[in-house]
């Protein structure tokens, strides 16, 4: 893409409202824009990264046989009364009335809707299991929206629900999805830990959270320094330095950002909502459910908290808004500019997503904006380009190398 066509209004000054580095980067880079407390526009660059996260999620879930659908945001009160949550959910639920005074909420999560869909179509064990997911905007009237996309009142979540006829089958799905989550967070190049968790407003008997390790995280993780034991402090309160309960190693504390949460719901929704099936033995039983969420918009911030270099974003390979940023330093019409244009065209032809800085700006402005955009690979076509010397900069480790046009065009970019 030519940069003259890119709508990415970068900010020169540090925005005052941003307290954490990921939020600063997103605001300064023109990735997001706030419109109300906890409500954000995903600007073109931000939306590009969101779509990349979504596609990683889709690939990993489709691979294990999950079906994507899209449910309505607007949910009638009736279903919530059936599940008992109209009363119990509390003030986080955004409730509204239509012109006839009928009550609705804006979905904070979709157990009620998905359970009502499945109960209408599935009557026999022969049609089970089934796994359904969506990537959708959720609404929660958080008491304290903060840190940009970290705790929004309107945010993007991937929510997935499984329906099984046996607890063994639920266990199998749970493990498959747990592994898919590991794959997703690994592809986002996150350092994370899976911890035992409280089930909160969603309910059920057991759940685990995927915690991205990071000092600004709102959750405290209690973990063993020499085994897999790890738990949210809300579940167990072992002091730092205590022996680990599994007998292996010592307890340590760390902060984490909750990126995902997986639950074995059992029959918490299917029982009150009468989502039943006829089993092999001819008996009518409630369907056994699991539910699994990932905070898609929150992930952007979690990723940036672990991927920056001197206040600059350096996006992980699969999430970078562009693969390569080509920056000519000479003006349009010059020989060096045309060399850069040729590199841009060649790399684009090879399938790379390349950003070409065709603006009539000084080198200083171009570099500043390039820092804010945060592509890992930067090709700088400067004064010596016509002597066959072009600079390739890896922004992750600040490595620079000088290559000729052929080498620039024919190498592989990570």
393's tokens: 């900069």
Contacts of 45 (CB under 8 A, 6+ apart): 6, 8, 29, 30, 31, 321, 373
Per-residue binding string, ligand ATP, 81-120, x by CB under 6 A, is: ----------------------------x-----------
Q: What is the DSSP string of 153-216?
A: SEEEEEEEEEEESSHHHHHHHHHHHHHHHHHHHHHTT--EEEEE---TTT--SEEEEEEEE-TT
Count the Cβ atoms, other than its own, within 10 Å of residue 69. Answer: 10
CB of 25 to ligand ATP, least distance (A): 17
- Angstrom distances, CA of residue 247 to CA of 196, 224, 227, 238, 301: 17, 9, 9, 13, 35
Q: Give the angle 231-236-239 at the CA atoms, nearest 5°.
A: 95
Q: Using the 8-state DSSP alphabet, how is residue 333 labeled?
A: T
Residue nearer to ligand ATP on the CB measure, 40 or 344: 40
298 binds ligand ATP (CB under 6 A): yes
CB of 302 to ligand ATP, least distance (A): 8
268 binds ligand ATP (CB under 6 A): no
- The H-assigned helical ranges of 36-165 are 44-63, 77-83, 85-88, 111-121
23 binds ligand ATP (CB under 6 A): no
Distance CA(108)–CA(91), nearest Å, equals: 11
195 binds ligand ATP (CB under 6 A): no
Q: Site size for ligand ATP, by CB under 6 A?
A: 17
State which of residues 119, 140, 325, 366 lies at the interface with ligand ATP (CB under 6 A).
Answer: 140
State which of residues 15, 200, 243, 388 lies at the interface with ligand ATP (CB under 6 A).
Answer: 200
Distance CA(129)–CA(358), nearest Å, equals: 53
State which of residues 111, 112, 208, 258 lies at the interface with ligand ATP (CB under 6 A).
Answer: 258
60 binds ligand ATP (CB under 6 A): no
Q: Which of 39, 50, 226, 64 is closest to 130 using CA atoms? A: 64
Applying CB under 6 A, which part among 187-195, 223-231, 290-298, 379-387 lies near ligand ATP?
Answer: 290-298
Distance CA(227)–CA(244), nearest Å, equals: 9
157 binds ligand ATP (CB under 6 A): yes
Applying CB under 6 A, which part among 232-240, 254-262, 321-329, 385-393 lies near ligand ATP?
Answer: 254-262
Applying CB under 6 A, which part among 40-48, 116-124, 253-261, 348-356 lies near ligand ATP?
Answer: 253-261
CB of 414 to ligand ATP, least distance (A): 28
State which of residues 155, 192, 223, 269 lies at the interface with ligand ATP (CB under 6 A).
Answer: 155
Q: Do residues 365 and 306 lie in contact, with contact meaning Cβ atoms separated by under 8 Å?
A: no
Contact footprint for ligand ATP (CB under 6 A): 109, 140, 142, 151-152, 155, 157, 200, 202, 258-261, 293, 295, 297-298
């Amino acid at each position: 893409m030519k940069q003259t066509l890119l709508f990415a209004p970068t900010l020169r000054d540090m925005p005052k409202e941003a307290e954490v580095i990921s939020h600063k980067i997103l605001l300064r880079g023109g990735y997001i824009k706030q419109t109300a407390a906890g409500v954000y526009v995903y600007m073109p660059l931000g939306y590009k990264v969101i779509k990349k996260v979504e596609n990683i999620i889709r690939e990993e879930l489709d691979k294990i046989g999950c079906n994507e659908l899209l449910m309505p945001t607007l949910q009638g009160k009736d279903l919530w009364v059936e599940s008992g949550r109209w009363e119990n959910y509390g003030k986080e639920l955004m409730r509204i009335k239509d012109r006839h005074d009928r009550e609705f909420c804006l979905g904070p999560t979709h157990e009620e809707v998905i359970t009502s869909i499945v109960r209408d179509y599935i009557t026999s064990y022969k049609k089970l299991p089934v796994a359904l997911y969506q990537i959708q905007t959720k609404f929660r009237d958080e008491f304290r929206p903060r840190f940009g996309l970290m705790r929004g009142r309107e945010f993007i979540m991937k929510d997935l629900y499984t329906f099984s006829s046996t607890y063994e089958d639920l266990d199998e799905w749970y493990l498959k999805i747990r592994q898919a989550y590991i794959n997703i967070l690994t592809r986002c190049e996150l350092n994370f830990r899976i911890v035992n968790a409280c089930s909160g407003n969603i309910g059920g008997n057991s759940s685990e959270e995927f915690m991205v390790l990071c000092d600004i995280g709102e959750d405290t993780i209690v973990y063993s320094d020499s085994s897999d034991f790890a738990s949210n402090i809300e579940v167990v309160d072992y002091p730092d330095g205590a022996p680990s309960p599994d007998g292996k190693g010592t307890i340590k504390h760390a902060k984490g950002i909750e990126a995902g949460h997986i639950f074995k719901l059992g029959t918490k929704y299917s029982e009150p909502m009468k989502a039943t099936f006829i089993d092999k033995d001819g008996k009518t039983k409630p369907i056994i459910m699991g539910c699994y969420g990932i905070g898609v918009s929150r992930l952007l911030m979690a990723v940036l908290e672990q991927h920056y270099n001197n206040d600059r974003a350096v996006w992980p390979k699969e999430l970078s808004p562009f693969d390569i940023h080509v920056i000519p330093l000479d003006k349009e019409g010059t020989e060096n500019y045309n060399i850069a244009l040729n590199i841009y065209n060649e790399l684009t032809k090879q399938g790379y997503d390349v950003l070409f800085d065709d603006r009539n700006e000084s080198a200083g402005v171009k570099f500043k904006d390039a820092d804010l955009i945060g592509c890992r690979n930067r090709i700088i076509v400067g004064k010596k380009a016509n002597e066959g010397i072009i600079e390739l900069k890896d922004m992750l480790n600040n490595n620079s190398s000088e290559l000729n046009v052929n080498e620039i065009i024919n190498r592989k970019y990570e």
